[in-house]
Amino acid sequence: MWQVRGRLLEPSLVIGIVNVTPDSFSDGGRFFDTAGAVAHGRRLLDEGAALLDVGGESTRPGADPVDAEDEMKRVLPVIEAFANDGAIVSVDTSKPSVAMAAIEAGAAIINDVTALADPEMAHVAVSTGAGVILMHMQGTPRTMQRNPSYGDVVREVREYLVARSDFAQSVGIEREAIAIDPGMGFGKTVDQNLALLGNVQTLVATGYPVVVGTSRKAFLGTVSGRAVTERDVATAATVALSVAAGVFAVRVHNVAAAQDARRIAEAIVNA
Protein backbone atom coordinates (compact mmCIF):
# COMPACT_ATOMS: atom_id res chain seq x y z
CA MET A 1 0.00 0.00 0.00
CA TRP A 2 0.95 3.63 -0.53
CA GLN A 3 -0.71 6.27 1.64
CA VAL A 4 -1.15 9.73 0.11
CA ARG A 5 -3.13 12.41 1.95
CA GLY A 6 -5.60 9.97 3.44
CA ARG A 7 -5.93 7.77 0.36
CA LEU A 8 -4.58 4.24 0.14
CA LEU A 9 -3.26 3.30 -3.30
CA GLU A 10 -2.79 -0.30 -4.36
CA PRO A 11 -0.48 -1.85 -6.98
CA SER A 12 -0.14 -1.99 -9.89
CA LEU A 13 -0.72 1.56 -11.01
CA VAL A 14 -0.24 3.28 -14.33
CA ILE A 15 0.73 6.93 -13.86
CA GLY A 16 -0.01 9.26 -16.75
CA ILE A 17 2.51 12.01 -17.56
CA VAL A 18 1.26 15.56 -18.16
CA ASN A 19 4.12 17.86 -19.16
CA VAL A 20 3.10 21.53 -19.06
CA THR A 21 6.40 22.57 -20.59
CA PRO A 22 7.76 23.88 -23.90
CA ASP A 23 10.86 21.67 -23.85
CA SER A 24 10.25 18.20 -22.37
CA PHE A 25 12.04 15.54 -24.41
CA SER A 26 8.97 13.63 -25.65
CA ASP A 27 6.02 16.00 -25.84
CA GLY A 28 7.36 19.43 -24.92
CA GLY A 29 5.06 22.15 -26.19
CA ARG A 30 2.20 19.85 -27.20
CA PHE A 31 0.25 20.50 -23.99
CA PHE A 32 1.84 23.75 -22.85
CA ASP A 33 -1.41 25.70 -22.56
CA THR A 34 -3.76 24.94 -19.68
CA ALA A 35 -6.67 23.79 -21.82
CA GLY A 36 -4.50 21.41 -23.83
CA ALA A 37 -2.87 19.97 -20.73
CA VAL A 38 -6.21 19.42 -19.00
CA ALA A 39 -7.73 17.78 -22.07
CA HIS A 40 -4.70 15.53 -22.40
CA GLY A 41 -4.81 14.48 -18.75
CA ARG A 42 -8.49 13.66 -19.00
CA ARG A 43 -7.75 11.44 -22.00
CA LEU A 44 -5.12 9.62 -19.94
CA LEU A 45 -7.66 9.10 -17.16
CA ASP A 46 -10.13 7.70 -19.68
CA GLU A 47 -7.41 5.30 -20.85
CA GLY A 48 -7.00 4.01 -17.30
CA ALA A 49 -4.42 6.19 -15.56
CA ALA A 50 -4.75 5.76 -11.80
CA LEU A 51 -3.14 9.14 -11.20
CA LEU A 52 -1.63 12.01 -13.16
CA ASP A 53 1.89 13.38 -12.70
CA VAL A 54 1.99 17.07 -13.62
CA GLY A 55 5.28 18.85 -14.24
CA GLY A 56 6.14 22.39 -15.24
CA GLU A 57 9.92 22.11 -15.56
CA SER A 58 11.68 19.78 -17.96
CA THR A 59 14.22 17.41 -16.43
CA ARG A 60 15.59 16.15 -19.75
CA PRO A 61 19.40 16.07 -20.05
CA GLY A 62 20.71 19.60 -20.46
CA ALA A 63 17.44 21.26 -19.49
CA ASP A 64 17.57 24.82 -18.17
CA PRO A 65 15.96 25.59 -14.79
CA VAL A 66 12.61 27.35 -14.47
CA ASP A 67 11.87 29.80 -11.66
CA ALA A 68 9.20 28.91 -9.12
CA GLU A 69 6.74 31.59 -10.21
CA ASP A 70 6.72 30.44 -13.83
CA GLU A 71 6.49 26.81 -12.77
CA MET A 72 3.45 27.56 -10.62
CA LYS A 73 1.74 29.48 -13.42
CA ARG A 74 2.10 26.40 -15.59
CA VAL A 75 0.99 23.67 -13.23
CA LEU A 76 -1.44 25.09 -10.68
CA PRO A 77 -4.49 25.59 -12.92
CA VAL A 78 -3.95 22.15 -14.44
CA ILE A 79 -3.66 20.47 -11.04
CA GLU A 80 -6.73 22.30 -9.77
CA ALA A 81 -8.78 21.13 -12.76
CA PHE A 82 -7.77 17.50 -12.25
CA ALA A 83 -8.39 17.67 -8.51
CA ASN A 84 -11.84 19.11 -9.13
CA ASP A 85 -12.49 16.08 -11.34
CA GLY A 86 -11.63 13.86 -8.37
CA ALA A 87 -8.36 12.63 -9.88
CA ILE A 88 -5.30 11.80 -7.80
CA VAL A 89 -2.48 14.14 -8.81
CA SER A 90 1.24 14.24 -8.17
CA VAL A 91 3.37 17.30 -8.83
CA ASP A 92 6.76 16.74 -10.43
CA THR A 93 8.90 19.41 -8.79
CA SER A 94 11.99 19.89 -6.62
CA LYS A 95 10.90 23.29 -5.30
CA PRO A 96 9.17 23.37 -1.89
CA SER A 97 7.17 26.50 -2.72
CA VAL A 98 5.79 24.89 -5.87
CA ALA A 99 5.01 21.67 -4.01
CA MET A 100 3.11 23.52 -1.28
CA ALA A 101 1.09 25.53 -3.78
CA ALA A 102 0.36 22.39 -5.77
CA ILE A 103 -0.92 20.56 -2.69
CA GLU A 104 -3.10 23.54 -1.84
CA ALA A 105 -4.47 23.27 -5.39
CA GLY A 106 -5.32 19.61 -4.83
CA ALA A 107 -2.20 17.50 -5.44
CA ALA A 108 -1.65 14.53 -3.14
CA ILE A 109 1.90 13.46 -4.04
CA ILE A 110 5.27 15.21 -4.41
CA ASN A 111 7.44 13.61 -7.10
CA ASP A 112 10.89 14.99 -6.27
CA VAL A 113 13.72 14.02 -8.63
CA THR A 114 16.22 15.28 -6.03
CA ALA A 115 14.82 13.04 -3.25
CA LEU A 116 14.31 15.88 -0.73
CA ALA A 117 17.70 17.49 -1.35
CA ASP A 118 16.09 20.70 -0.12
CA PRO A 119 15.17 19.88 3.51
CA GLU A 120 12.22 22.26 3.30
CA MET A 121 10.57 19.83 0.87
CA ALA A 122 10.41 17.25 3.65
CA HIS A 123 8.67 19.77 5.88
CA VAL A 124 6.10 20.39 3.15
CA ALA A 125 5.39 16.67 2.99
CA VAL A 126 5.13 16.34 6.77
CA SER A 127 2.85 19.36 7.21
CA THR A 128 0.47 18.33 4.42
CA GLY A 129 0.51 14.54 4.70
CA ALA A 130 1.44 14.27 1.04
CA GLY A 131 2.91 11.12 -0.39
CA VAL A 132 6.43 11.38 -1.80
CA ILE A 133 8.33 9.76 -4.65
CA LEU A 134 12.06 9.80 -3.93
CA MET A 135 14.13 9.42 -7.09
CA HIS A 136 17.79 8.65 -7.69
CA MET A 137 19.73 11.01 -9.94
CA GLN A 138 23.48 11.32 -10.37
CA GLY A 139 24.27 15.00 -10.89
CA THR A 140 21.66 17.49 -12.09
CA PRO A 141 19.51 17.54 -15.24
CA ARG A 142 22.07 19.83 -16.87
CA THR A 143 25.04 17.55 -16.09
CA MET A 144 23.71 14.07 -15.38
CA GLN A 145 24.51 12.46 -18.74
CA ARG A 146 28.02 13.81 -19.19
CA ASN A 147 29.85 10.86 -17.66
CA PRO A 148 27.71 8.78 -15.27
CA SER A 149 29.91 6.43 -13.29
CA TYR A 150 29.20 3.70 -10.72
CA GLY A 151 31.05 0.80 -9.17
CA ASP A 152 27.83 -1.22 -8.88
CA VAL A 153 24.85 0.74 -10.14
CA VAL A 154 22.21 -1.57 -8.67
CA ARG A 155 23.74 -1.60 -5.20
CA GLU A 156 24.50 2.13 -5.16
CA VAL A 157 21.04 3.18 -6.33
CA ARG A 158 19.41 0.87 -3.79
CA GLU A 159 21.58 2.17 -0.94
CA TYR A 160 20.91 5.78 -1.91
CA LEU A 161 17.14 5.31 -2.02
CA VAL A 162 17.07 3.47 1.29
CA ALA A 163 19.18 6.24 2.86
CA ARG A 164 16.89 8.97 1.52
CA SER A 165 13.86 7.05 2.77
CA ASP A 166 15.49 6.77 6.20
CA PHE A 167 16.07 10.53 6.15
CA ALA A 168 12.45 11.17 5.18
CA GLN A 169 11.23 9.12 8.11
CA SER A 170 13.68 10.80 10.48
CA VAL A 171 12.04 14.17 9.82
CA GLY A 172 8.51 12.84 10.22
CA ILE A 173 7.33 11.45 6.88
CA GLU A 174 5.47 8.19 7.44
CA ARG A 175 7.03 5.11 5.88
CA GLU A 176 3.67 4.30 4.26
CA ALA A 177 3.80 7.64 2.40
CA ILE A 178 7.14 6.92 0.70
CA ALA A 179 7.69 5.48 -2.77
CA ILE A 180 11.08 5.13 -4.48
CA ASP A 181 12.17 5.51 -8.10
CA PRO A 182 15.51 4.31 -9.55
CA GLY A 183 15.57 7.27 -11.95
CA MET A 184 15.89 5.60 -15.31
CA GLY A 185 17.90 7.86 -17.60
CA PHE A 186 18.87 10.26 -14.83
CA GLY A 187 22.63 9.96 -14.77
CA LYS A 188 22.85 6.45 -16.22
CA THR A 189 24.33 4.91 -19.33
CA VAL A 190 22.37 2.48 -21.49
CA ASP A 191 23.98 -0.50 -19.77
CA GLN A 192 23.33 0.97 -16.32
CA ASN A 193 19.65 1.51 -17.13
CA LEU A 194 19.37 -2.06 -18.37
CA ALA A 195 21.09 -3.38 -15.26
CA LEU A 196 18.65 -1.51 -13.03
CA LEU A 197 15.67 -2.81 -14.96
CA GLY A 198 17.02 -6.34 -14.90
CA ASN A 199 17.46 -6.17 -11.13
CA VAL A 200 14.49 -4.01 -10.13
CA GLN A 201 13.33 -6.76 -7.78
CA THR A 202 16.17 -5.72 -5.44
CA LEU A 203 14.35 -2.41 -5.00
CA VAL A 204 10.99 -4.15 -4.61
CA ALA A 205 12.58 -6.19 -1.81
CA THR A 206 13.09 -3.01 0.25
CA GLY A 207 9.35 -3.04 0.93
CA TYR A 208 8.80 0.46 -0.44
CA PRO A 209 6.46 0.96 -3.41
CA VAL A 210 8.69 1.20 -6.47
CA VAL A 211 7.86 3.58 -9.32
CA VAL A 212 9.57 2.95 -12.66
CA GLY A 213 9.66 5.59 -15.39
CA THR A 214 11.14 4.32 -18.64
CA SER A 215 8.69 5.94 -21.03
CA ARG A 216 10.28 6.83 -24.38
CA LYS A 217 13.68 7.28 -22.71
CA ALA A 218 16.85 7.61 -24.80
CA PHE A 219 18.23 4.21 -23.78
CA LEU A 220 15.18 2.57 -25.35
CA GLY A 221 15.94 4.46 -28.54
CA THR A 222 19.54 3.24 -28.48
CA VAL A 223 18.46 -0.39 -28.09
CA SER A 224 15.51 -0.28 -30.50
CA GLY A 225 16.77 2.22 -33.03
CA ARG A 226 13.47 4.10 -32.74
CA ALA A 227 12.87 7.85 -32.60
CA VAL A 228 11.40 9.28 -29.42
CA THR A 229 7.82 9.29 -30.75
CA GLU A 230 8.15 5.63 -31.83
CA ARG A 231 9.17 4.08 -28.51
CA ASP A 232 5.81 3.09 -27.02
CA VAL A 233 6.26 -0.60 -27.92
CA ALA A 234 9.71 -0.59 -26.31
CA THR A 235 8.20 1.17 -23.29
CA ALA A 236 5.45 -1.45 -23.07
CA ALA A 237 8.09 -4.20 -22.91
CA THR A 238 9.69 -2.52 -19.90
CA VAL A 239 6.26 -2.04 -18.30
CA ALA A 240 5.49 -5.76 -18.59
CA LEU A 241 8.86 -6.76 -17.14
CA SER A 242 8.58 -4.22 -14.32
CA VAL A 243 5.07 -5.35 -13.36
CA ALA A 244 6.17 -8.98 -13.44
CA ALA A 245 9.02 -8.07 -11.07
CA GLY A 246 6.58 -6.54 -8.60
CA VAL A 247 6.91 -2.79 -9.10
CA PHE A 248 4.09 -0.72 -7.64
CA ALA A 249 3.64 1.78 -10.46
CA VAL A 250 4.87 2.69 -13.93
CA ARG A 251 4.98 6.25 -15.21
CA VAL A 252 4.21 6.59 -18.93
CA HIS A 253 3.11 8.85 -21.76
CA ASN A 254 0.95 6.22 -23.50
CA VAL A 255 -1.41 4.93 -20.82
CA ALA A 256 -3.48 2.67 -23.08
CA ALA A 257 -0.43 0.70 -24.26
CA ALA A 258 0.92 0.45 -20.72
CA GLN A 259 -2.42 -0.85 -19.44
CA ASP A 260 -2.37 -3.63 -22.05
CA ALA A 261 1.18 -4.57 -21.09
CA ARG A 262 0.32 -4.49 -17.38
CA ARG A 263 -2.76 -6.69 -17.79
CA ILE A 264 -0.89 -9.32 -19.80
CA ALA A 265 2.04 -9.38 -17.37
CA GLU A 266 -0.27 -9.75 -14.39
CA ALA A 267 -2.26 -12.50 -16.08
CA ILE A 268 0.91 -14.48 -16.78
CA VAL A 269 2.26 -14.00 -13.26
CA ASN A 270 -1.07 -14.98 -11.70
CA ALA A 271 -1.72 -18.00 -13.93
CB atoms within 10 A of CB 37: 26
Q: At what angle do helices 232-244 and 190-198 cross, to 10 degrees?
A: 40
Cβ-contact 240, 13 below 8 angstroms: no
Q: Is 217 a catalytic residue?
A: yes
| Catalytic-role residue among 60, 188, 251, 262 | 251
How is 36-52 classified by DSSP, letter by letter?
HHHHHHHHHHHTT-SEE
**CA 211 from chain center: how many Å?**
7
Cβ-contact 132, 177 below 8 angstroms: yes
With a CB cutoff of 8 Å and minimum separation 6, the contacts of 210 are 179, 180, 181, 182, 200, 203, 204, 246, 247, 248, 249
| Catalytic-role residue among 60, 217, 231, 262 | 217
Q: Which residues pair with 109 in a beta bridge?
A: 90, 131
Cβ-contact 82, 52 below 8 angstroms: yes
List, by residue number, the catalytic residues: 217, 251
